[in-house]
Chain A
Amino acid sequence: MSDTLFAPVRNGQALPLADVPELTLAEFRDAVIQGVRSGMRLACLCADAALNLYAVLAEDAAGRLCAGRTRLEGPRYPALTPQCAQAHLFERELAEQYGIVPEGHPWFNPVRFHRSWVPGRDAWGRTGPIEPGVLDFYQVKGEEVHEVAVGPVHAGVIEPGHFRFQCHGETVFHLEIALGYQHRGVERALEGGPHPLSLKHAETACGDSSAAHAWAYCQALEGLAGFTVPARSQRVRGVALELERAANHTGDLGAMSGDVGFLPTASFCGRIRGDWLNMTAEACGSRLGRDWLRPGGLRMDLDSSRAGHLAERLDRAWADTVDAVELMWGAASVLNRFEAAGAVDPVQAREIGLVGVPARACGIALDVRRDHPFGPYAGHPVGPCLGESGNVQSRAWVRWLELAQSHSFLRTALESLAWGEPDARPAALPPLAADSFCVSMVEGWRGEVLHLAITGAEGRFRRYKIVDASFHNWFGLALALRGELVSDFPLCNKSFNLSYCGHDL
């Protein structure tokens, strides 16, 4: 256990804000930089309108989280990024949101292209209209070097984002990704909450990870209200989360197969993904798990007969999944392409703080379900499933291992849910603790989903921060493209399958 001035916190448990140590700026910087050097990970760094900086560090292998804060004297401070690459996007984000300038930031650009939340205080001194995707992209110069610009509107049913490749022939020297097109104001909407729409905002922060984000939101509220969710409801939430993982991993494996031209697995998995989604719909009426969870427990319980029925469908979906995916592992043409594309260096992966599937594909053992257990996972440990090479093949393989694990979790959970009575419908939560701080983390199918709630004097959100796994991982995709061919971008992109809306909020 490394020494730190930060205070220990636990996933989903609130503590008074006064117990989060307020450090001097020098101490705060040192705690973050030294913490990350000693192997911790910067899970969250954010600011608020009163010029406070908050950081959450995770020592995943030790199952430890800690948090600290500092108050800035003015809207500027020496950037952490030169010494701590993991702070790179967080510092750009807090600059954009609150007009706080991290001085000496090596790549100081906006993240989502919106106006500062503090009127009149813009980190770049902009006063005119702000155009999305307009920035000084990193450029490689030379006679034979050219630039490829893609997006925001892409050639498929996919979210918008702008990609700028610096190429030499087919080889990519550098990729810069400009997002923010999906920015619809989720964090600002949550401020002053919980509001009647807050749970919806959490569910739609990243709509293909509704269960993960809804759970993180509910867990934050339950922590702040000091409410313990009954074990059966927690198990049902586990079913929601693992069905979401199974559906998306199946879809991703199929899509990756399609991107290398192996159509049998692509076609089968496209359909089987629907089978998984339809199981979620059987449980709650919505294929994406909307309106399934609610603070305090569940909106839609999973009674014993429904659980039993789902268990039967689980076997069929799993058998079809195995049949479809094993075809792909037996195809040399697939493995050949998967193994040759999109490698991320494991050392760099640690340095930039990758999470979720791309991190585990590099052999980095982290999984919120094991490291910072929540809900049913303390009694039913899962993960982490590891790859070795950090390439497309490893990311596919990690998904495959996780699918098997989700299946086994679902089997056990549904069998136990097929007995007994559902929990009573949850009443409204008691009021949230005032002036408190709660970190809530869930392992979504992409990786770590972190919600940080800070309440004010009335027990309402003074600041609500969401960090989707995609926020950590987009830069990983940029690194994976270095030295690859432009034509491999779709495959690499699909192997990460990051969220635009989860990043843009």
Chain B
Amino acid sequence: MIHILLSRWRQGHRTMAYPKTLPALPERFRGRPEFDPGACAEGCRACRDACPTGAIELAPLRLDLGRCLFCTECVDACPDGVLRFTGDHRLAARNRDDLVQGPGTTPVLAAALGKELMRVLGRSLKLRVVSAGGCNGCEVDVNVLGTLAWDLGRFGIQFVASPRHADGLIICGPVTANMALAVQKTYDAVPDPKLVIAVGACAIAGGPYLHQAEQLGGAAAAGIPVDLFIPGCPPHPLTILDGLLRLLDKLQ
């Protein structure tokens, strides 16, 4: 027992102060992209050709964060330095269209739930996580929110073991054909009113597997209405938490 207490003393209190202060993100962290308006050379399509998931459209330049894997192929390909990824971790959006960004668009942060949903779920949100054909990357970064460093419970959010105990689902992965029925049954088992949060590029639009016939192209494409989209491959835990807290109106 004395050893446990000594360890506790040595390791100290490690739950981060977020959201009072932001934890330091690594210099190479790739968050919300930024664009240099009007800097594209006429007829240049380097970024579009380089993007492995077809997330970029031209005239005007638009990057779909729902498809983006944050791999920097576009940044490397651009001869004029039009695109760059910033350290801004706030990527979550309520509407799929809000994820499409480009020069001149205004970044839209995820809006809070409506009054009635906030009354029911605002102080206690229980979520069931369903992994549906991803690579376990998003699951890793969702799971980490439960550790003492992030301590998700202090925000009234908790992961639960049964959909019947849940107020909503977190879906990771592109929803494989083999998981479609299980996802639907899990969704049906959550009592109303319920939320669905799509975490990661796969769950939003199929991610790196978007061309594969073995998957359905994400939660929405699989027929599950999505209330919050959290882009990334995988999203940083801070990006996921930011989305959850904005949904519950716990961030300014």
Which A residues form the contact surface with B (CB < 8 A)?
112-114, 132, 152-153, 155-160, 180-185, 188-189, 195-197, 200-201, 203-208, 210, 264, 267-268, 270-271, 273-274, 277-278, 281-288, 290-291, 299-300, 320, 323-324, 327, 330, 499-501
Contact A182 B133 (CB under 8 A): yes
Say yes or no: A327-B211 contact (C-beta < 8 A), given A153-B182, A159-B136.
Answer: no
Interface residues of B in 182-210 (CB under 8 A from A): 182, 186, 207-209
- For the A-B complex with A204-B137, A291-B70, A499-B136 known, give 19 more contacts whose Cβ atoms are closer than 8 Å: A112-B178, A152-B182, A156-B159, A157-B146, A160-B131, A183-B178, A184-B176, A197-B53, A200-B52, A200-B208, A207-B136, A207-B138, A271-B14, A271-B149, A274-B144, A285-B27, A285-B29, A286-B70, A327-B7
Contact B147 A184 (CB under 8 A): no
Residues from chain A with a CB closer than 8 A to the CB of B213 are 185
Interface residues of B in 1-50 (CB under 8 A from A): 3-4, 7-8, 10-11, 14, 26-30, 50
Task: Give Cα A153–Cα B208 distance, bound, in whole angstroms.
Answer: 23
Q: Kindly identify which residue among B26, B141, B178, B186 contacts A285, using a CB–CB cutoff of 8 Å.
A: B26
B97 within 8 A of A: no
Q: Kindly identify which residue among B26, B30, B130, B139 contacts A153, using a CB–CB cutoff of 8 Å.
A: B130
Task: Give Cα A320–Cα B134 distance, bound, in whole angstroms.
Answer: 31
Most buried by A among B3, B159, B178, B213: B178
Contact B178 A206 (CB under 8 A): no
Contact A268 B71 (CB under 8 A): no
Q: Kindly identify which residue among B11, B71, B133, B148 contacts A184, using a CB–CB cutoff of 8 Å.
A: B133
Task: Give Cα A153–Cα B132 distance, bound, in whole angstroms.
Answer: 9
Residues from chain A with a CB closer than 8 A to the CB of B129 are 156-157
Contact B11 A268 (CB under 8 A): yes
B168 within 8 A of A: no
Residues from chain A with a CB closer than 8 A to the CB of B234 are 207, 288
B66 within 8 A of A: no
Task: Give Cα A182–Cα B133 distance, bound, in whole angstroms.
Answer: 4
Contact B52 A291 (CB under 8 A): no
Minimum CB distance partner of A196 in chain B: B52
Contact B137 A288 (CB under 8 A): yes
Minimum CB distance partner of B8 in chain A: A264
Task: Give Cα A335–Cα B243 distance, bound, in whole angstroms.
Answer: 41
Provide the B148-192 mask, 1 if CB < 8 A to any CB of A, else 0. Answer: 110000000001011100000000011011110010001000000
Contact A285 B28 (CB under 8 A): yes
Residues from chain A with a CB closer than 8 A to the CB of B162 are 155
B105 within 8 A of A: no
Contact B131 A185 (CB under 8 A): no
B91 within 8 A of A: no
Give 7 nearest A-B pairs by CB, closest first.
A207-B135, A285-B28, A207-B137, A155-B161, A270-B147, A204-B135, A185-B214
Contact A182 B134 (CB under 8 A): yes
- What are 15 inter-chain pairs, A to B, with CB distance below 8 A? A157-B131, A158-B131, A182-B179, A184-B174, A184-B209, A185-B212, A185-B213, A188-B212, A200-B52, A207-B234, A264-B8, A268-B7, A277-B144, A290-B233, A323-B10
Report A38 CB to chain B, min CB distance, Å: 37
B142 within 8 A of A: yes
Report B75 CB to chain A, min CB distance, Å: 11
Task: Give Cα A264–Cα B3 distance, bound, in whole angstroms.
Answer: 10
Q: Kindly identify which residue among B7, B139, B177 contacts A264, using a CB–CB cutoff of 8 Å.
A: B7
Residues from chain B with a CB closer than 8 A to the CB of A271 are 14, 147-149
Report A447 CB to chain B, min CB distance, Å: 16
Contact B137 A281 (CB under 8 A): no
Task: Give Cα A7–Cα B167 distance, bound, in whole angstroms.
Answer: 59
Task: Give Cα A327–Cα B135 distance, bound, in whole angstroms.
Answer: 32
Residues from chain A with a CB closer than 8 A to the CB of B30 are 285-286
Minimum CB distance partner of B185 in chain A: A153
Report A179 CB to chain B, min CB distance, Å: 9
Report B237 CB to chain A, min CB distance, Å: 8
Contact B136 A152 (CB under 8 A): no
B236 within 8 A of A: yes
Say yes or no: A158-B176 contact (C-beta < 8 A), given A183-B133, A185-B214, A291-B71.
Answer: no
Say yes or no: A327-B4 contact (C-beta < 8 A), given A208-B140, A274-B144.
Answer: yes
Task: Give Cα A330–Cα B6 distance, bound, in whole angstroms.
Answer: 13
Task: Give Cα A205–Cα B208 distance, bound, in whole angstroms.
Answer: 10
Report B20 CB to chain A, min CB distance, Å: 19
Contact B139 A159 (CB under 8 A): yes
Interface residues of B in 222-252 (CB under 8 A from A): 233-234, 236
Task: Give Cα A204–Cα B137 distance, bound, in whole angstroms.
Answer: 8
Q: Kindly identify which residue among B69, B70, B215, B236 contacts A185, using a CB–CB cutoff of 8 Å.
A: B215
Residues from chain B with a CB closer than 8 A to the CB of A113 are 178
Say yes or no: A157-B28 contact (C-beta < 8 A), given A184-B174, A207-B137.
Answer: no
Minimum CB distance partner of B210 in chain A: A197
Q: Kindly identify which residue among A180, A185, A264, A290 contacts B4, using a CB–CB cutoff of 8 Å.
A: A264
Task: Give Cα A393–Cα B154 distance, bound, in whole angstroms.
Answer: 34
Residues from chain B with a CB closer than 8 A to the CB of A160 are 130-132, 179, 182
Contact B139 A184 (CB under 8 A): no
Minimum CB distance partner of A262 in chain B: B4
Task: Give Cα A323–Cα B4 distance, bound, in whole angstroms.
Answer: 10
Contact B134 A323 (CB under 8 A): no
Task: Give Cα A201–Cα B212 distance, bound, in whole angstroms.
Answer: 11
